Structure 1
Amino acid sequence: MSSPRAHTGLLYTRPENGRAGRSQRRALRAAKKRLTEENNKRLTVAEGRGAVEADRPMVLPPLGEHRPEALRSLRRLRLPAHRATSDVLAGAYPFLAEAGLGEAGVFIGQDAWSGTGFCFDPWVLYEAGILTNPNCLLAGAVGKGKSCLAKSIATRSIALGRRIYVPGDPKGEWTAVAERVGGATIALGPGTGNRLNPLDPGPRHTDIGEDEWIELVATRRRTLLGSLAESALGRALTAVEHTALDCALTGTVASDPTPTLPRVVDRLLHPRADAAADGECGQDPAELARDGRELAHALRRLVAGDLAGLFDGPSTVDFDPSLPMVTLDLSRIHGSDQLTAMVMTCASAWMEAALTDPNAGARWIIYDEAWRLIRQPALLARMQAEWKLSRGYGIANLLIIHRLSDLDAVGDASSSTRATANGLLADCATKIVYQQEPGETSGTARRLGLTSTEEAQLPDLRQGEGLWHVGQRAFIVRHFATANELDLFDTNQRMTLSRNAIRAP
């Protein structure tokens, strides 16, 4: 008997071969076919649009794939706008920098943060609404390059049609600069032979009438003599001294077509009898002599004392406001700061006619070593007037000091003189700060209203680098100077010559 055969069947299959696996494979084949058809359509369309559109990769739908467990979004992702301070954003975006002030104006150097060129011109920035006034402050320790920067701004501004006036150069550093640019220097002091008459009327404006001109000259002379008297006396004038001075000035102008200081002093010491008879002062000569005696002896210093020969006669030099640069060299005048301030008061009044001409164009007025000038109330008041009226005159004042604590040496803490000095600082829309001496950083930041980031930059500034606070914007600027400029602006020549002389055999 043959062996029996067993007939059996499959009781189970592998999962991938089951119904679910077959359904998944069919879905994959259908998806593949659909994708192929879409790609073919895209290739067909791309023939008319170019190969760049055809190579664009497929992306997922904005809300995810249309299938289970695809983590589809319920709605589009929307993030609210985020606001933060510049300190925080600087950490989030460390490679962003200020766009700069534009290319209009004088080229100064390089913006250390962005690496771009930095240009500056107060008239251009005022017209653009970035500055509220054209006045500037430049502060920095000795040897950090502030004088070189001031001279670069001055000489480069001449190419833009600006004129430069330096009403007081205590060290004579601007003489060579003025000569190089075709300007003129007026040197005062022993051995120069130059003399200025501060009572000269000065150049007359083209758009001013005869009566207005006479009144303007009289006011200017009266203000000058009052400032000189207060500087010499070290106090304000009394009412009777004002009367005596005004009477002496009026009599001098009436009797002499070219009034001078010696004539005014002589009338203070020896009033004329006809002055009281004509009703000019309402006092007899004896009363006028007694009231103006101290005042006369104080002003006599300008004509017979240590300033004899400078302001005691008609002018021997002319002031030409059309020159590109005019400087007043005071390096030969030695003595106290009060003496220098009195000389600058006379010189400023002599130049005032050109400074206050609104039709003379844009002009820089540079006060170098201003720490010596702001200590004198009379000169400080004249500077305040120029600061306040700078926009109407079309001038930009540049105040150069070593440190902001110099303002603390001006009068008492609660005095009007201290308030006036701080007012000059407040009226400077542009503040340039070079490296300060140790211990001055916090005080400088407090006075100028610097942020913590700006204050942190001050100790790290190198020679020729400065923090420029222009309006509400701040920059770290590296000043670039050519070899010829460095040779012309060098303020260390005497120190270098001294070393060479010692080393010479």
Structure 2
Amino acid sequence: MPAHRASSATLAGAYPFLVPPPCDIGVPVGQDALTGGPFCFDPWALYSAGDLTNPNLLLAGVIGQGKSALAKSLAMRSITAGRAVYVPGDPKGEWAPVAQAAGGTVVRLGTGLPARLNPLDAPDGPEPHGPRIRLLAAVAALTVHRELAAAEHGALDAALASAERRSTPTIGDVLDALASPDATSARADGVRIEDRSADGRDLAHGLRRLVRGDLAGLFDGPSTERLDPRAPMVVLDLSRLGSDEDALALAMTCASAWLEGALLASTAKRWVIYDEAWRVLRHVALVRRMQSQWKLSRAHGIANLMVLHRLSDLDAIGQHGSEARSLAQGLLADCSTRVIYRQESDQLSGTASALGLTRPERDLLPVLPRGTGLWKMPHRTHVVHHVLHPAEVDVVDTDSAMRDHTEPHER
């Protein structure tokens, strides 16, 4: 076969695993499987160097392959480098030990627990009405299991405006205003009071769940918690809510809204970690809100980390060509770094298409050993063995009880 000569850029495209440049900026993650050298990662430093177009990260892999251990150890190690970590919803209660080990704060929410969060607490800024109505619209759409009609959105906006006559409104105040609309506001909008009341009736029934239903006592009154913006880590533990998917999605949305407002004053670079993100991705209104928040991440020094089992989790949101699917694809586009752990063979085509993987990268996915991931970035690809220090294992490795303790701590 005759010799072939090409530039390094051309060769990198044809043979993506051929001597990638070292990634030695940031906290240590593990060992580069192709070079044997250390692999480090810090999205803010890499963004500043021009290696990333945004700081967000997607982490996907089948259950039991070590993706949770990676997310938790990356969080703890980032704290030692001066970063902060926020987990706005922890459905399994797995992040509480991590926060406690890092000297952080855990807020536990659930029936019978004393903590209560008001997602309508005013964030810093001259105009809190906009963020509040967008949150309420997303929550209301989830409770009624459909998109809101224009008249319903108008009724909700008017109810919020009425509730905002208090210094800090609550969802309970909004529910009361939906049940008894303000006549002056209705006349100003050219709407009969009877019609305004009818427009808000379904929304009132939906929001009732947060005030007098199974989620009562969590988000329906003034906040009982005050967070220190200097805390290295904050986790909102939702494990007491059980496995009700709608309840968890509602709670994760309200809790994340409260956390955003409570900690917006912090100037620290910070991770916001969406574990079990597939729960939120099933609801169009919540994905729309998540995407709008991600667009603001760079302005606030935030790197989002979204954890999925597989890329087909995004299929649940809608069909190809739909607005919902476009929103999901937008979230992927807003993740410059994609870390893929082992995928089943029936997931390969969809994963490769969604992430723009080359054929060698695609073929590697079903044979990746536990704790090893494909790190796909705009101008480089690495295969990385995640390495845990023995002191980290009991804190971050939630699957250790299922394995022989003689296994090495390379996860």
Counterpart in the other structure of 1:36: none
Residue 443 of structure 1: how far off its partner (Å): 2.5
Matched, 1:298 2:209: no
DSSP-derived class of the 1:440 partner: helix
Mapped partners of 1:88, 1:161: distance in 2: 36
Letter in 2 for 1:83: A
Counterpart in the other structure of 2:21: 99
Extract unaligned runs of 5+ from structure 2. Answer: 404-411
Residue 282 of structure 1: how far off its partner (Å): 3.8
Extract unaligned runs of 5+ from structure 1. Answer: 1-79, 205-212, 497-505
Matched, 1:433 2:340: yes
Residue 281 of structure 1: how far off its partner (Å): 4.0
Which one of the candidate residues 20, 28, 45 is aligned to 1:124? 45
Residue 396 of structure 1: how far off its partner (Å): 0.6
Matched, 1:447 2:354: yes
Residue 311 of structure 1: how far off its partner (Å): 1.5
Matched, 1:370 2:277: yes
Counterpart in the other structure of 1:257: 167
More deviation, 346-355/457-466: 346-355
C-alpha spacing 1:355/1:82, structure 2 compared with 1 (3 Å): farther
C-alpha spacing 1:435/1:81, structure 2 compared with 1 (3 Å): closer
Which one of the candidate residues 143, 146, 158 is aligned to 2:67? 146
More deviation, 336-345/361-370: 336-345
Mapped partners of 1:451, 1:322: distance in 2: 42
Q: 1:146-191: per-residue Cα shift (whole Å, max 9, x none)? A: 0000011100001111110111111110001001111111111123
Counterpart in the other structure of 2:398: 491
DSSP-derived class of the 1:439 partner: helix
Higher RCO, 1 vs 2 (CA within 8 Å, ≥6 residues apart): 2
Mapped partners of 2:55, 2:402: distance in 1: 35
Mapped partners of 1:362, 1:352: distance in 2: 14
Letter in 1 for 2:223: S
Mapped partners of 1:147, 1:306: distance in 2: 29
Residue 331 of structure 1: how far off its partner (Å): 0.9
Mapped partners of 2:119, 2:287: distance in 1: 18
The 5-angstrom pairing of residues 11-90 of structure 1 reads 82-83=5-6, 86=11
Which one of the candidate residues 86, 102, 117 is aligned to 1:165? 86
Counterpart in the other structure of 1:334: 242
Aligned residues: 400
Contact 2:147 2:285 in 1 (8 A): no
Letter in 2 for 1:141: V
C-alpha spacing 1:363/1:480, structure 2 compared with 1 (3 Å): same
Letter in 2 for 1:293: R
Counterpart in the other structure of 1:188: 109
Letter in 1 for 2:57: C
Mapped partners of 1:275, 1:445: distance in 2: 53
DSSP-derived class of the 2:78 partner: helix
DSSP-derived class of the 1:148 partner: helix
Which one of the candidate residues 163, 179, 191 is aligned to 1:269? 179
More deviation, 171-180/264-273: 264-273
Counterpart in the other structure of 2:135: 224
Residue 386 of structure 1: how far off its partner (Å): 2.5
Which one of the candidate residues 142, 148, 158 is aligned to 1:247? 158
Letter in 2 for 1:239: A
Contact 2:342 2:369 in 1 (8 A): yes
RMSD (Å), alpha carbons: 2.4
Matched, 1:198 2:123: no
Counterpart in the other structure of 1:4: none
Contact 2:121 2:261 in 1 (8 A): no
DSSP-derived class of the 1:224 partner: helix
Mapped partners of 1:113, 1:81: distance in 2: 23
Residue 378 of structure 1: how far off its partner (Å): 1.7
Contact 1:247 1:280 in 2 (8 A): no
Contact 2:88 2:255 in 1 (8 A): yes
Q: 1:445-477: per-residue Cα shift (whole Å, max 9, x none)? A: 222111122222222211111111122211111
C-alpha spacing 1:293/1:466, structure 2 compared with 1 (3 Å): same
Letter in 2 for 1:142: I
Mapped partners of 1:147, 1:348: distance in 2: 20
In the superposition, the TM-score normalised over structure 1's length comes to: 0.75
DSSP-derived class of the 1:319 partner: coil
Which one of the candidate residues 320, 327, 333 is aligned to 1:420? 327
Counterpart in the other structure of 1:352: 260
Mapped partners of 1:280, 1:356: distance in 2: 35
Letter in 2 for 1:366: I
Mapped partners of 2:135, 2:202: distance in 1: 18
C-alpha spacing 1:139/1:303, structure 2 compared with 1 (3 Å): same
Which one of the candidate residues 197, 214, 220 is aligned to 1:289? 197
Letter in 2 for 1:238: A
Mapped partners of 1:113, 1:302: distance in 2: 52
Counterpart in the other structure of 2:409: none
Residue 97 of structure 1: how far off its partner (Å): 2.3
Q: 1:304-356: per-residue Cα shift (whole Å, max 9, x none)? A: 11111111211111233220000111111135322211111211211222565
Letter in 2 for 1:290: A
Mapped partners of 1:400, 1:343: distance in 2: 18
In the superposition, the TM-score normalised over structure 2's length comes to: 0.91
Letter in 1 for 2:176: D
More deviation, 487-496/310-319: 487-496
Residue 284 of structure 1: how far off its partner (Å): 4.1
Question: Which one has the largest radius of gyration?
Answer: 1
Contact 1:181 1:324 in 2 (8 A): yes
DSSP-derived class of the 2:250 partner: helix
Residue 88 of structure 1: how far off its partner (Å): 11
Residue 242 of structure 1: how far off its partner (Å): 1.9
Residue 271 of structure 1: how far off its partner (Å): 2.3
C-alpha spacing 1:472/1:494, structure 2 compared with 1 (3 Å): same
Q: 1:287-319: per-residue Cα shift (whole Å, max 9, x none)? A: 321221111111111101111111121111123
